[in-house]
Amino acid sequence: MSVMIVTGGSRGIGAAVARAAGLAGYGVVVNYLRDAEAAGSICADIASDGGRAVACQGDMAVVDDVAALFETAERDLGPVTAMVNNAGATGLAGRLDEADPDMIRQVVDLNLTGLIYCLRAAVQRMSTRHGGQGGAIVNISSRAAELGSAGDYVWYAASKAGVETVTHGLAQEVAQEGIRINAVAPGIIETDIHAAAGDPGRVDRMAATVPMGRAAPPEEVADAVMYLLSGRASYITGAVLNVSGGR
């Protein structure tokens, strides 16, 4: 069985990816930070569709939790062949000169440093250089990486630019070791992240700025992720796929 880890798989885009992975026949490890009930309900959904899933609590900004996540995956489901680095946060929306430094550090620790820890752990296990069987990885970036998020969360945008840079670089580093690494850059997606940033009306407000005139449900992002993980994307590595309605 192919085994996929989805970080932040309990809600939003991660939950949609976890469900799609279960339907595609992967054994799925649904990582979460706090919401055990949401993670359990995604696992139950996957099981009721005939798949296998386990929930695993862990803070993806903490390197020991990243290692423990892989140990759980290998013990409960088998060697990991796919990974979606999705766990992320914006912090409270606002100008940089009014932002709390600890919040900025927490966002960068999770979105960038933690994601790099996850990639390191994945390469150590998947790379043929280390006796692994290879695999595919998708990092969840954001259109913020290019647009900059002025007035909202420039620190978040900067962390996502780092996600795209590590995607380009590491994809080349492991290109001959059986691992493909790509990124998906979502635009305005209907999840809890906007309310968590203190701006629950953001999706409706921003939808008008999208060339296609609408935001998107997380399933439309999950479809792009599943494509990049699949054999149909066998010659694609180091790419960033915008899923943003033209924005």
Whose Cβ is closer to ligand NAP: residue 127's or residue 193's? 193
Strand partners, 181: 137
Catalytic residue among 26, 117, 153, 156: 156
User: Residue 197 in 3-state DSSP?
Assistant: coil
Instruction: Decide whether 86 or 182 has the Cβ nearer to ligand NAP.
Output: 86
| 14 vs 132 by CB, closer to ligand NAP | 14
Max Cα–Cα distance, the chain, nearest Å: 50
Which residues in 117-140 are b (16+ Cβ under 10 Å) and which e?
bbbebbbebbbeeeebeebbbbbb
Q: How far is the CB of 94 from ligand NAP (least distance, A)?
A: 17
Torsion of CA 14, 225, 74, 77, to 10 degrees: 80
CB of 238 to ligand NAP, least distance (A): 19
- Among the listed residues 190, 14, 230, the one whose alpha carbon sits nearest the alpha carbon of residue 115: 14
Which residues make up the interface to ligand NAP (CB under 6 A)? 7-8, 10-14, 31-35, 38, 59-61, 86-89, 110, 140, 142, 186, 188-189, 191-193, 196
Q: Which is nearer to ligand NAP, 27 or 186 (CB)?
A: 186
Nearest distance in Å: CB 51, ligand NAP: 19
156 among known catalytic residues: yes
- Active-site residue set: 156
